[in-house]
Chain A
Amino acid sequence: MGKIRENLWSVVVAGIFLGVLVAYLFTFQVPAATWGVVYWFGEYKRTHEEPGLKFRWPTPIEEVELLDQRVRLFDTRLQENLTRDKNNLLVKITTGWKITDPRKFINRLRTEVEAEKNIRSRVENVYNKTLGEYYFYELVNTDYAQQQETFREFEQKMRMRLNEELQQADYGVAVDVLAVQQMTFPASVSEKVFNRMIRERETESKAYRAEGESEYRSTVSEAETEANKILAKARAEAQIKRGQGDAEAAEHYKVFKENPELANLLREIQSLRQILAEQRTTLVLSTEDLPFHLLREKEPLGESGTGSAAGTE
């Protein structure tokens, strides 16, 4: 005891090193989201699901294998198949799988590569079978709500069938994610689709232009009708006004009846003034007319001296 006390530090250090060695030999860590599978002399013994520090016997008594609990993703190849209405489609599917039972997984599949190979072939089989139950127009159409529901149902059906097959095969794996990530036509079909798209667009262009022309004719025709109505209304109004003017004039012209000859004379004089108001008029007058009789060679006043001459008085 005394000697131990004297060499306490050495004992402690030695104890630490021994502890580390024991820990290394007799324990192992199971990381989060990982299965810790323990083999006893190569035979499956147990599985640790919870992460942390676990006990084991040193190698070769017990060996440990770590398996990822997380989901792994892979894509299938682009696969061609027919819909129910015989439309060719090439589809690529994303699949996410995970280990659900490590013991079964190890017994039946052993490695992730083998697991992926098996699941991939089953995905392709399930896809082939399921696609043949749907019409092309069920998966692709412009009724958005209905189309989305059908497409989701298509993917869910494939996933459900796939998980049933995997369960029956007792692989100890399950598919968590299954989604169609690529859907295309064969090359020859895409060419036909282009031609149809071009024809549809040509029809659409013609329709737009025809609509524009029709709209033009309709609008102009309506405007012409409306214009005619406006003019007709104006003419009617003008007719009324002229009539009112004439009626008003007629009222004033009643006074003409008191002396029609005077009224005519005044109107004639006024007309003369208006007609001959332009300076371009040329008149040819006779010396017989008043007062031009004064221009004759005869004595203007005549024999009587009264100045009477040919012409009116």
Chain B
Amino acid sequence: MTDEHVMDRVEEEPTPPPPQEQDAAYKTLADALRTAFLVLKIGMALAVFIFLLQGFFLVSPSETALVKRFGAFAEDTPGTPRIYKPGGPYYAIPVIDKVVRVPMGDNEIVMDTEFWTAPQTAEGVESIPGALMPGVDHYTISGDANIVHTKWQVKYKVQPAGALGPYYFLTTFAEQATGEVEQLTGRPVVRSGPEQLLRDLFRSAVLRVSAGLHIDEILTGDPDKTPFQDRVRRAVQDALEANRAGITLTGASLIEKAPPEVTKPAFDEVSNARADKQARISEADAKARELLNAAAADADVIVNDAQKYKDNVASAAESDAENIRRLLDRFPDDPKGLRIYLRQYHREVLAEVLAKTRHYVVRPGETWYLTGRTPEEMQGKK
């Protein structure tokens, strides 16, 4: 092919638009792109603004919060972490800062198997009737080498912000896998380090305190001594403070206590015997009161009878003496007149007496009449 053909081909290609038309197209495209970029910029700015707004957060009344920046807790002063109390709004830079919330409410743990017999012996464990299987059945040993079972309810909460409780709660003891799995999510259950520490220290305290007390002090208490649960509570609180775990014990209640099942009848018998002793003492007191009251009543009767005798005797003697004196004064030198008086008096008394009595008047020698038999009949009997 010759250059002339090339030239012809070149000459045959469409001619570009004139320069003025080219500028308009570019301008339109440039405008469109400019607009698009502007919208994009505004959008990005808005997105960044909304993103930055995510940094605001509130702290609910039942929690406190700490903010980690690049992994380190934000501090008010070097060495003193900043703890965000309930309220807000506070600000944490998204992505850079991370808000860590710490629940401050009461937590409850029920320890009802740690010192109690298992509901049934575990599989594969050979049981001995009337015995407790180590590792399966749990208990503590009392100071007099007896065995006792207890159940507890424990409450704790994170120490207040002033004591840096939330900080120590997060930084002293590592979380512990419990070996259990959440039913809904299937995730392993993880317990906070301080709570695990509390469980371990509580078990230790119950064991150690039990080993220093008589079993009766644990089961029934001694009014002159510190109660068992108070001693445990104190021991646990001291241990928590020594380990600086950031939590405090708010309650420890002994909800149930019992001797081993096989010894329970013997313990019940002691309670019965104690009650019997008290009943017998009460009976003795009642009997004593009865005896003393009876003696007092008899004594009153004796004294009163004597008093009556005294009064009667003295009064009768006085009356008799008065009668005689009166008669003697009435018939001072008149024995005949006195005799007549006395005879009349005698007859008056006789009449009075006969009026009150049943009486028979018989001739001498005729008293047989009263028997209803003749003398001959009476002699015949002889």
> Could you list which residues of chain A lie within 8 angstroms of chain B, going by C-beta atoms?
9, 13, 29-34, 50-53, 68-73, 75, 78, 80, 90, 94, 96, 136, 139-144, 147-148, 151-152, 176-177, 179-188, 190-191, 193-194, 197-198, 200-202, 204-209, 211-213, 215-220, 222-224, 226-228, 230-231, 233-235, 237-242, 244-246, 248-256, 258-259, 262-263, 265-267, 269-270, 272-273, 276-279, 281-288, 290-292, 295-296, 313
B235, closest chain A residue (CB): A148
CB distance from B91 to the nearest CB of A (A): 19
Taking a contact as CB atoms under 8 Å apart, the answer to whether B204 and A180 are in contact is yes
CB distance from A67 to the nearest CB of B (A): 11
On chain A, the residues within 8 Å of B363 by CB distance are 286-287, 296
10 contacts between A and B (CB under 8 A): A78-B134, A141-B212, A179-B204, A179-B239, A181-B207, A183-B211, A184-B139, A194-B147, A215-B284, A242-B306
- B262 CB within 8 Å of chain A: yes
On chain A, the residues within 8 Å of B289 by CB distance are 223
CB distance from B77 to the nearest CB of A (A): 15
Interface of B is mostly: helix
Using known A-B contacts A208-B276, A237-B303, determine if residue A71 contacts B171 with beta carbons closer than 8 Å: no
Determine the distance from Cα of A55 to Cα of B260 in the docked complex, in whole angstroms.
63
On chain B, the residues within 8 Å of A215 by CB distance are 277, 280-281, 284
A217, closest chain B residue (CB): B284
Tally of chain B residues near chain A (CB < 8 A) = 122
On chain A, the residues within 8 Å of B37 by CB distance are 9
CB distance from A97 to the nearest CB of B (A): 10
Using known A-B contacts A208-B270, A219-B285, determine if residue A182 contacts B174 with beta carbons closer than 8 Å: no
Determine the distance from Cα of A197 to Cα of B142 in the docked complex, in whole angstroms.
12
On chain B, the residues within 8 Å of A71 by CB distance are 172-174, 193, 197
With beta carbons under 8 angstroms apart, the residue of A94, A202, A239, A313 that contacts B269 is A202
Using known A-B contacts A96-B197, A181-B203, A219-B284, determine if residue A258 contacts B263 with beta carbons closer than 8 Å: no
5 A-B pairs with the lowest CB-CB distances in the bound complex, closest first: A245-B310, A234-B299, A238-B306, A227-B295, A212-B277
On chain A, the residues within 8 Å of B184 by CB distance are none
Using known A-B contacts A51-B73, A204-B273, A255-B321, determine if residue A283 contacts B207 with beta carbons closer than 8 Å: no
On chain B, the residues within 8 Å of A191 by CB distance are 128, 130-131
Taking a contact as CB atoms under 8 Å apart, the answer to whether A223 and B288 are in contact is yes
Determine the distance from Cα of A32 to Cα of B366 in the docked complex, in whole angstroms.
142
CB distance from A298 to the nearest CB of B (A): 11
- B32 CB within 8 Å of chain A: no
CB distance from A237 to the nearest CB of B (A): 5
On chain B, the residues within 8 Å of A251 by CB distance are 317
Taking a contact as CB atoms under 8 Å apart, the answer to whether A223 and B292 are in contact is yes
**B49-86: which residues lie under 8 A (CB-CB) from chain A?**
68-73
On chain B, the residues within 8 Å of A279 by CB distance are 356-358
Using known A-B contacts A191-B130, A222-B288, determine if residue A272 contacts B342 with beta carbons closer than 8 Å: no
CB distance from A12 to the nearest CB of B (A): 10
- B10 CB within 8 Å of chain A: no
Taking a contact as CB atoms under 8 Å apart, the answer to whether B317 and A249 are in contact is yes
With beta carbons under 8 angstroms apart, the residue of A144, A180, A222, A230 that contacts B295 is A230
Taking a contact as CB atoms under 8 Å apart, the answer to whether B145 and A205 are in contact is no
Hey, what's the 0/1 contact readout for B231-251 against A, CB within 8 Å counting as 1? 000000001000100000000
Using known A-B contacts A51-B72, A277-B356, determine if residue A231 contacts B197 with beta carbons closer than 8 Å: no
- B1 CB within 8 Å of chain A: no
Taking a contact as CB atoms under 8 Å apart, the answer to whether B357 and A276 are in contact is yes
On chain B, the residues within 8 Å of A152 by CB distance are 208
CB distance from A66 to the nearest CB of B (A): 9
Q: Which of A69, A80, A216, A231 has the most CB of B within 10 A?
A: A216
On chain B, the residues within 8 Å of A75 by CB distance are 200
Taking a contact as CB atoms under 8 Å apart, the answer to whether A284 and B284 are in contact is no
Q: For the A-B complex with A78-B135, A202-B269 known, give 17 more contacts whose Cβ atoms are closer than 8 Å.
A: A50-B72, A51-B71, A140-B211, A177-B243, A183-B141, A185-B132, A186-B134, A188-B128, A212-B280, A213-B280, A230-B292, A241-B307, A241-B309, A252-B320, A263-B320, A281-B356, A283-B359
On chain B, the residues within 8 Å of A276 by CB distance are 353, 356-357
On chain B, the residues within 8 Å of A220 by CB distance are 284, 287-288, 291
- B108 CB within 8 Å of chain A: no
Taking a contact as CB atoms under 8 Å apart, the answer to whether B143 and A144 are in contact is yes
Taking a contact as CB atoms under 8 Å apart, the answer to whether B134 and A284 are in contact is no
Taking a contact as CB atoms under 8 Å apart, the answer to whether B305 and A238 are in contact is yes
Taking a contact as CB atoms under 8 Å apart, the answer to whether B134 and A90 are in contact is yes
On chain A, the residues within 8 Å of B239 by CB distance are 179
Taking a contact as CB atoms under 8 Å apart, the answer to whether A262 and B302 are in contact is no
- B338 CB within 8 Å of chain A: yes
B261, closest chain A residue (CB): A194
A211, closest chain B residue (CB): B277
A288, closest chain B residue (CB): B364
Using known A-B contacts A70-B171, A141-B143, A234-B303, determine if residue A181 contacts B281 with beta carbons closer than 8 Å: no
- B279 CB within 8 Å of chain A: yes
Taking a contact as CB atoms under 8 Å apart, the answer to whether A266 and B320 are in contact is yes
Determine the distance from Cα of A140 to Cα of B209 in the docked complex, in whole angstroms.
10
With beta carbons under 8 angstroms apart, the residue of B171, B173, B200 that contacts A181 is B200
Taking a contact as CB atoms under 8 Å apart, the answer to whether A182 and B207 are in contact is yes
- B314 CB within 8 Å of chain A: yes
- B133 CB within 8 Å of chain A: yes
With beta carbons under 8 angstroms apart, the residue of A180, A212, A244 that contacts B279 is A212
B307, closest chain A residue (CB): A241
Using known A-B contacts A31-B71, A183-B141, A202-B266, determine if residue A258 contacts B324 with beta carbons closer than 8 Å: yes
On chain A, the residues within 8 Å of B374 by CB distance are none
On chain B, the residues within 8 Å of A208 by CB distance are 270, 273-274, 276-277
Determine the distance from Cα of A147 to Cα of B139 in the docked complex, in whole angstroms.
19
Taking a contact as CB atoms under 8 Å apart, the answer to whether A147 and B71 are in contact is no
